[in-house]
Amino acid sequence: QQQVKQSPQSLIVQKGGISIINCAYENTAFDYFPWYQQFPGKGPALLIAIRPDVSEKKEGRFTISFNKSAKQFSLHIMDSQPGDSATYFCAASERGSTLGRLYFGRGTQLTVWP
Amino acid sequence: EAQVTQNPRYLITVTGKKLTVTCSQNMNHEYMSWYRQDPGLGLRQIYYSMNVEVTDKGDVPEGYKVSRKEKRNFPLILESPSPNQTSLYFCASSLKSGGLIANTGELFFGEGSRLTVL
């Protein structure tokens, strides 16, 4: 059973546009929601993360929006650039858990055309 | 430089020939984990370890073994590889304190090991 559902699988955006990637979850015990960015030939790296006590977190051009009641969260990339072309993974975990599990979505391959 | 190092980065092998993918981290992290990445399936956890001599199964442990004899090393063992284990493998580590994932919850990934089983 997939713990975190991510869409779309691929996304093509023109330079300067807004990229939006969505994720949904069912487990209400999840309380930590990171996004990872992966460039070709590299391992994923933490991009930005949010906890459910806030509805939005912004770091530069990257914003996470969180809707606790809908159990959804999304990544918005403003003014998308060719250098943002990568695979993006959303994830979720129970930070109060000692089980050490971080559940990933299936990823979104973003291509930003110049 | 803080890093997670995996070896080999690329490997082609044949069905049934035992192999080990090594993983080492120099950040004194307690938590380590193995993932496999397949097209359309994302990152799936194979095994994880909360500390030395403490390991547990992830979502897809079948056909794999791990050991955690030292804090810095977490090798992935394929006793009898099969073609369905052809994949891109990532080792990751994280700081853990007080029994919980640390405040940032950040996982540090290696650069990956691409394995092909013929």
| Alpha-carbon gap, residue B46 to B57, rounded angstroms | 6
Please give, rounded to a whole number of angstroms, the shortest distance from the CA of A52 to a CA of chain B: 14
Of B102 and B56, the structure prediction assigns the larger pLDDT to B56
Q: Which tokens is B112 given? A: 């990956």
Residues composing chain B: 118
Taking residues B47-64, what's their average pLDDT?
93
Strand order in the sheet with A4-7: A4-7, A19-25, A72-77, A62-67, A56-59
The string of DSSP letters for A32-99 reads BEEEEEE-TTS--EEEEEE-TT-SEEEETTEEEEEETTTTEEEEEESS--GGG-EEEEEEEB-TT-SS
The answer to whether A26 and A105 are in contact (CB under 8 A) is no
Does the pLDDT at position B61 exceed 90? yes
Q: Does B115 touch chain A (CB under 8 A)?
A: no
Give me the residue from A43, A100, A102 closest to B110, CB to CB: A43
Per-residue pLDDT of chain A (114 residues; tens, 9 = 90+): 789 999 999 999 999 999 999 999 999 988 889 999 999 999 999 999 998 888 999 999 999 999 999 999 999 999 999 999 999 999 998 866 555 678 999 999 999 998
- A&B contacts, CB < 8 Å: 68
DSSP B111: -
Q: How confident is the model at residue B102 (pLDDT cuts 50, 70, 90)?
A: very low
Amino acid, res. B28: N
Q: Which tokens is B110 given? A: 């290696």
Looking at residue B100, its pLDDT comes to: 45
Tell me the residues of chain B between 37 and 66 that have a Cβ less than 8 Å away from chain A: 40-45, 48, 50, 56, 58
Does the pLDDT at position B103 exceed 90? no
Strand order in the sheet with B76-78: B4-7, B19-25, B76-78, B65-66
Looking at residue A96, its pLDDT comes to: 62
Does the pLDDT at position B99 exceed 50? no
Closest of B73, B86, B77, B70 to residue B20, by C-alpha? B77
Tell me the residues of chain A between 8 and 47 that have a Cβ less than 8 Å away from chain B: 9, 32, 34, 36, 41-46
Q: How confident is the model at residue B104 (pLDDT cuts 50, 70, 90)?
A: low
For B25-55, write each residue's pLDDT tens digit: 999 998 899 999 999 899 999 999 988 999 9
